Structure 1
Amino acid sequence: MTSAKAFIQTKVSNFRNAFTSWAAFKSYIEAPQTELDEHGNVIHREGHRWSNEDLEPTPPEKRTWSWVNYVTFYWGLSFGNWTLGSTMIGIGLNWWEAIIVIFVSQTISSIAMFFNSRCASVYHVGYPVVARSVFGMWGSFYVVGARAMLAIVWYGIQLYSGASFVAVMLRCIFGHLYTDIPNNIPASAGITSAGMLSFFLFWMVHFPLCAFRPYQLRGFFWFKGVVMCISCFGLFIFCMANTKGNVGSVYQSNITSNNRAWFIIQSINAGMGNTATLITNQPDFARWSRTKTGAMWSQLLSNPLAVTLSASLGILSTAAINNSWGLETPLWNPWDLLGAILDRYWDAGSRAAIFLCAFCWMFSILGTNIAANMIPFGSDVTLLFPKYLTIPRGQFIVEFLAFAINPWKILASASKFTTFLAGYGLFMASVVAIMIADYFLLTKGNVFVAWLYDPTSENKHYYYHRGWNVQAYIAYIAGIALPFAGFVGTLGPDVSEAAAHMGQLGWILSFVVSFAVYWGLCLVWPTRNQRLSKEKGLGWEQAAADEPFVLNNAQVVDAQESSDGRLAGSVVSAEKSGVGGMTTSAS
């Protein structure tokens, strides 16, 4: 208690002191310097810092996630996919085809997640720094900034979805006192006064969690996994018991035999869109792993099972309620289903049970929004503005930006925009493909971490061509070019049937093309970093031997080459001299 009180007093004192002078204010808003900054080991250019504590490799004391934590994390994220079956059945598959397609799509997604988490598991750096190693010191800004912008919108949309469960909870408690709140908001806004109250309350629930970094949220994600299982199985049991398992014929396929193979492939790609952001975000979570494989095998085994099981529960529950209650439109969204149950069973016991179920669903969306949008945005802005922004500060920023974009208005009046968001995975698929190809095939898992903080032309590993990896961007453009016309077609313009089909294969096609183009291009035109790695004759992940990047007072221990060109432990001097402001000496 005493330490907590002292911590708060220190924070308050620092805040007051910040307004005593302009110099004090500038010092207050700047991100705290690390040993790298203080000892001149990181290049500063035109006042721009290239490092802070969230961009540097995670120190051992913060690598707190074991494989158990990753299992509960991924299970909690994946088990809430109740409505994924609606996508498959909407395309035209029957119930068992939808379940198989979901399992296959999530297995492919998990394999991509498996490979994309390796670099961060070994070198303990997040997505922005991994992007530097592949796309270049300046080239990384685009791939990181693109993800950050989309995270803002998705964060707001998830806030709006979670508010629907808060509305159910308020209805359970207050009944007509909530539903009959006078509406003073214009209908064109897409939200009512009661809806705004629910949105604000759910927004407030997020607020205190913005102050934490991922390694501090292990318990939170464990609890999310528990309550998600309770809510899904609880709602499923009610639907089966209430309808006596009357799933009827469930859903029959309306696809002709001539088109079946194509629609199955299309459905697999649609299922992968469900985890497109999570695939990209892997380094932001894998960096906290205690071991090199803890973040890899855990999700490979848990994600496909959790997604398939939860989607199956959603398919069967929706079919049972639809058949027994004679509904014209299936209640795929769980908040609509909970609302329909309240309409039929308005008694104290039912209201208490629905409140508990709605709370669990609300908590699940809270965890998903934090993992898929809040943490990635916080990580991204550390790269964009490392002098001022850390992960917690970035998380507070997206909290306010998500409110400011009025997501209810986007959803009410811009259906094409939400279609754009749903298809953006093809843009991220190319990024993931290039990062995996570079790490596993072209550099043999060797990342020279110390050079990831030097933006000058003397950076022999990651400056590439004026800070941009040209080969990577050629492969990126090639990857999005083929499905892009079909993607545009989903927004309204007429496109050819062939273009539409390629658009429907968005993630898979973009990934395969970018992977193949980058690998093939670099075989005949390797980057300078790839040439250096090959010339050194390094074995698999040899640069990670003996901790690649450890702060030790005024020194930075890095994996560099010895006089014979092979790897050896070396010391980067605290003095700013030599290549990129750093001199090396073989130990």
Structure 2
Amino acid sequence: MKAWSFPTYCIFWFGLAFGNWSLGSAMIGIGLNWWQAIVVIFVSQMIAAIAMAFNSRAATTYHLGYPAISRVVFGMVGSYCFVGSRAILASVWYGIQLYSGASHVANMLRAIFGDSYKNMPNHLPASAGIATNKMIAFFIFWLIHLGFCFFRPYQLTEFFWFKGFIMVPAVFGVFIYCMIETGGQINHTLPQANATSGMGWFIIQAINTGMGNSATLITNQPDISRWSKTKSAPGVSSMLVKPITCTLAASLGILATAAINGKWGLTLWNPWDLLDAIQDRHNGSGPRFAIFLAAFTWTVGILGTNIAANMIAFGSDVSLIAPRYIDMKRGFFLAQVLAYAIVPWKIMSSAKTFTSFLSGYGLFMASVAAIMIADYFITTRGNIKPAWLFDPRKTNKYYHYHQGFNLQAVIAYLIGIALPLPGFLSSLGVPGVGVAGQRLFSLGWLLSFFVSLISYPLICKFWPTENQKLFREEGLTWEESSKTTIEGVYVGIAPDGVIPDIEKIVKEEA
């Protein structure tokens, strides 16, 4: 298994960031003007990048994914709850992202076949919730995903390089078109919020909203960072690349769509709707070819994001839940099957409550990421015993905890989600939640993260876990256990950049 280098991570974050064309629509939607939205996006992405850097350290040091590290934090049994919940979330988002990407495939098909594709007769019943032409686009994008199921994450280095490079000219090309078409006249009559409760509160709410697109990636960091050749590559690259490029991409989207909406009298924010509107007005061969290229690059962008944020996460999770029958690659294929089974077009079109649940679910994962960071950097001082993570017996002195559950972590998790939970329930239609509860939900991710980040070390200070006691008795210094051996095999990364498969080593030695 070849490791990822620092340049690879830089181009990885670069490519993901340039897929955030419509991130600014969330900012504009809650009432910020265009320049306020740009500032808030930069701040939110910097906070996200810092959290990602911290949550990558354990993975880069021990080359363990999220399921294994969740055993460290929540116990051999407790980890199944948090891994299983993330697997469900990842599978649903996988299907939804696949459906969203199909919109760009539809752009390409229309650019090729013209209005004959757009006006294609629908042969599906109304109960299907999707028209024939959109189903064709979905199936094509599904087939493209299928091809990537044959690869492991470390084998996709060239793909992420390709994705990062081709996104830039497409994003800038569409932006330049919008500026030329409108003469650079940006619509300044965007909706403004009445910040009656104070601009400070309103800005914090906006920052929390801006972090929505990074909430999953923060928790998923171990699955991406475990392939790193060095300890610092994922974290440093995310802080250097993600805030600037994400802000740049979102800014181009804000300015371009604000300009085009002002001239054409539309309310477009999604790039696929913008490309459709352009073809409505410019249907010649030249514009259609340009639209095809732009749609192609955005399709590749969504594909890369879906692989990184959802497919890898799901495959990693189910390989822990049923390791005897499912490895990571088989998990990828299972995600493909579920992508059709969840009928994402119906979720997107009718289940408003369910999509609200998915959007708010990030606050539940925020506490997980916070506890993972606190456990590694504060309570165990960067020490993990990898061999014991694959020992399910009750005699596991490090990670069996209380009947398989780390109660201290569970308590810190419940404390973290308690404050924003009433507001979350209110977003699902539960009555009786006051304004204060709804405002706390607006701070969902930030609130849950910092409450759990503080509460877990405090609980462990007065009630330490068994492995924390053992580490103190052993007198381990910072990350000292990463320098030891597992049955005579060095845990670290070999000089040629090859990552040892710890689980395989332990099984073979046993």
TM-score of the pair, normalised by structure 1: 0.82
Displacement of 1:406: 0.5
Q: Secondary structure at the match of 2:489?
A: strand
C-alpha contact (below 8 Å) 1:450/1:558 kept by paired residues: no
Aligned residue in 1 for 2:228: 289
Q: Deviations over 1:13-63 (max 9, x none)?
A: xxxxxxxxxxxxxxxxxxxxxxxxxxxxxxxxxxxxxxxxxxxxxxxxx24
Residues 108-143 of structure 1, C-alpha deviations (whole Å, 9 max, x = no match): 111110100000000011111011111111111111
State yes or no: 1:467 paired with 2:404.
yes
**RMSD (CA atoms):** 1.7
Q: Aligned pairs, how many? A: 495
Q: Aligned pair 1:273/2:204, yes or no?
A: no
The alpha-carbon distance between structure 1 residues 269 and 256, as it changes in their structure 2 partners (threshold 3 A), is closer
Letter in 2 for 1:405: I
Task: Output the amino acid matched with 2:149.
Answer: C
Deviations 1:330-386 (A, max 9, x none): 210100000000000010100000000001111110111111100110111110011
Residue 427 (structure 1) shift = 0.7
Partner AA of 2:14 in structure 1? W
Q: Does 1:175 align with 2:114?
A: yes
Q: What is the percent sequence identity of the aligned residues? A: 58
Deviation at 1:413, TM superposition (A): 1.3
Which runs of no fewer than 5 residues in structure 1 stay unpaired? 1-61, 550-554, 560-573, 583-587
* Residue 342 (structure 2) pairs with residue 405 (structure 1): yes
Asked if the contact 1:105–1:269 (Cα under 8 Å) also holds between the matched residues in 2, the reply is: yes
1:30-109 pair list within 5 angstroms:
62-109=1-48
Q: Hey, what's the Cα distance between the residues in 2 that align with 1:536 and 1:251?
A: 61
> Matched residues in 2 for 1:395 and 1:402: separation?
11
Match of 1:324 among 242, 246, 263: 263
- 1:139-160 CA-to-partner distances (Å, cap 9, x unmatched) read 1111111100001110000011
- Aligned partner of 1:264 in structure 2 is 203
Tell me, yes or no, if the aligned pair for 2:52 and 2:218 is still in contact at 8 Å.
yes
Aligned mates of 1:384, 1:373 — CA distance in 2: 16
Cα deviation digits, residues 273-307 of structure 1 (max 9, x gap): 11000001100011111111111100111111111
Structure 1 residues 112 and 184, CA gap change in structure 2 (3 angstroms): same
Aligned to 1:189: 128
Instruction: Report the Cα distance in structure 1 between the residues aligned to 2:347 and 2:69, rounded to whole angstroms.
Output: 33
- 1:513-562 Cα offsets, whole Å, 9 max, x none, are 1112111100000000001111111110011115x54xxxxx55378xxx
Task: Return the alpha-carbon distance in structure 2 between the equivalents of residues 519 and 478 of structure 1.
Answer: 13
Counterparts of 2:371 and 2:79 in 1: how far apart (Å)?
12
Give the superposition deviation at 1:188.
3.7
Alignment partner, residue 58 of structure 1: none
* Paired residue type of 1:379: S
Q: Which residue of 2 aligns with 1:110?
A: 49
How do 1:96-495 and structure 2 match up within 5 A?
96-249=35-188, 251=190, 253-256=192-195, 258-327=197-266, 330-494=267-431, 495=433
Determine whether 1:531 maps to 2:469.
yes
Match of 2:440 in 1: 502
Secondary structure of the structure 2 residue equivalent to 1:211 = coil
Report the equivalent of 1:20.
Answer: none
Please identify runs of 4+ aligned residues in structure 1 that moved more than 6 A. none
1:557 aligns with 489
Greater share of helix residues, 1 or 2?
A: 2
Q: In structure 1, what is the Cα distance between the partners aligned to 2:191 and 2:434?
A: 29
| Inter-partner Cα distance in structure 1 for 2:133 and 2:490 | 57
Q: Gapped runs of 5+ residues in structure 2?
A: 492-504
How far did 1:189 drift? 2.9
Matched position secondary structure for 2:214:
helix
